[in-house]
Amino acid sequence: MALWGGRFLKKSDNFFKNFNNSLKIDYILIKQDIQSSIAWSKILLESNIIKEYEQKQLETTLNFIFQEIEKNPKKILLSDSEDIHSWVEKKLIYILGDIGKKLHTGRSRNDQVTTDLRLWVKEKINYLKKNLIRLQESLVFLSEKNIESIFPGYTHLQQAQPIIFSHWCLAYFEMIQRDFSRLNDCFKRVNVSPLGSGALSGTGWKINRKKLAHLMGFAKVSNNSLDSVSDRDYVVELLSIASIGMMHLSRFSEDLIFFNSGECNFIELSDQVTSGSSLMPQKKNPDALELIRGKTGHVYGSLLNILVLLKGLPLAYNKDMQEDKKNLFDALETWESCLNMSKIVLSGLKININKCKKSAEKGYTNSTDLADYLVRQGMSFRDSHHLSGKIVLYALSQNKSLSELSLPEFKKFSELFNDNVYKEIDLKNCLDKKISRGGTSKIQILKAIFRSKKQILKNIST
């Protein structure tokens, strides 16, 4: 039996009932529905709407219902209740009879559902933050281990300038830090209680909404009841953050897939996160990373889904909004598992240090430094840039790296060349010169590692 049978003469069509029910999705809000219901019972008592013994019984029974189901919330799915709110209320009435029927006084499922969802989101944000921190820790750990690993840096997927592998790790650290700070910002807007907004126009009972909010751990109360029950901005916001976060993880994955390719062979992924081919025995495929890259599309889809769902939706609550949860739950679950997968991938990652260094040399990543050398010898940068290009062309034809060219070969291009050119174009020297803040010199990397560690400690405490 639905909670709203009075006005109806006919029973719901079975197909409609199944179509309309959201229990299979929102049953995971059980903890939050119990939490907000207990808070509501307390406020009903405070407002003299129910008696003390009634509140006690409501609270005890709500706790009992939760304890009974906590270990296996899937048991809820055996019921044909419309949603989790109806399920809890029906249970309460089944156990307590008339007292159970009092809990919904002054409350609507419209303010209840968004209250529960906000409570759930708050908890989820904290889990996501923990996962972000764990990935940051792995990146810092890897960057500390690779402080000497020379690596080819790319632009346009062409070797550009040498970097230290740690620099790559710390680049992703920064992206994840921004995801972290976006979650913190979003949390502030989620941390607002809509309960007491009723169906749309507020509640006719004199209740202390501030106290109610604090009972549930919210920092503030919402200002407008019409907005409160219609607002799903926080779902949009969270899915945007998740989409940005997944975009970062997919770039991370793509980088590693490329570095791991037979052509690059810069890194080796652990057997634990790769799989073989059913036909080709030599294959070791980067499945974990490909899946992260692939799952990104699913998260973007969820963002688009909620945006389209809300577009042009009139105020206040409409049943369309019931469709907000499936995608939110799936997308955040996906993001969380991809963060965890990325961390596992990093923990087994091996860098082929020699291959990386050789490749950076053969990729002429030090040609900017060759041009800079000529500038120091007195040539203008535009001319030295042109001349270095010519030297690269020549070195390519000889199948040599720049440092493999002899001094007479250099001198054929300019008399300004001296023995000291070799020190200038030595990759290590090229790296050490990048001393600008955030650059790839060892000094700057060490500073960045220090900053990152401090940031992690700060993140842990927020």
Residues that are catalytic: 156, 277
Under the criterion CB under 6 A, does residue 229 sit at the interface with ligand ARG?
no
For ligand ARG, the closer of residues 120 and 252 by Cβ is: 120
Q: Find the part of the chain contacting ligand ARG (CB under 6 A) among 54-62, 108-116, 215-223, 397-405.
A: 108-116
The tokens describing 328, both together, are 């939110």
At closest approach, how far in Å is the CB of 83 from ligand ARG?
Answer: 4
Maximum C-alpha span of the chain: 101
For ligand ARG, the closer of residues 3 and 387 by Cβ is: 3
Q: Is the bond preceding 213 in cis, omega lying within 30 degrees of 0?
A: no
Q: Quick check: 346 and 258 in contact, CB under 8 A?
A: no
Residue with tokens 């042109």: 386
At closest approach, how far in Å is the CB of 92 from ligand ARG?
Answer: 17
Under the criterion CB under 6 A, does residue 317 sit at the interface with ligand ARG?
yes
At closest approach, how far in Å is the CB of 216 from ligand ARG?
Answer: 18
For ligand ARG, the closer of residues 164 and 321 by Cβ is: 321
Rounded Cα gap, residues 235 and 329, in angstroms: 10
Site string for ligand ARG, 272-311 (x = CB under 6 A): ----------------------------------------
At closest approach, how far in Å is the CB of 192 from ligand ARG?
Answer: 18
Among residues 322, 327, 452, 459, which is the contact residue for ligand ARG, using CB under 6 A? 322
Q: What value does the CA radius of gyration of the chain take, rounded to a whole number of Å?
A: 30
Total site size for ligand ARG, rule CB under 6 A = 9
Under the criterion CB under 6 A, does residue 113 sit at the interface with ligand ARG?
yes
CA dihedral 249, 348, 180, 166 (to 10 degrees): -90
Closest CA relative to residue 154, chosen from 169, 173, 168, 174: 168
Among residues 163, 321, 339, 360, which is the contact residue for ligand ARG, using CB under 6 A? 321
3-state secondary structure of 403: helix
Instruction: Report the length, in residues, of the chain.
Output: 462
The DSSP annotation for 298-314 comes to HHHHHHHHHHHHHTTPP
For ligand ARG, the closer of residues 84 and 171 by Cβ is: 84
Q: How far apart are the first and last CA of the chain?
A: 46
At closest approach, how far in Å is the CB of 74 from ligand ARG?
Answer: 18
For ligand ARG, the closer of residues 22 and 41 by Cβ is: 22
The DSSP annotation for 238-278 comes to HHHHHHHHHHHHHHHHHHHHHHHSTTT--EE--GGG-B--S
Q: Find the part of the chain contacting ligand ARG (CB under 6 A) among 38-46, 123-131, 317-325, 369-377.
A: 317-325
Q: Which parts of this chain interact with ligand ARG (CB under 6 A)? A: 22, 26, 83, 109-110, 113, 317, 321-322
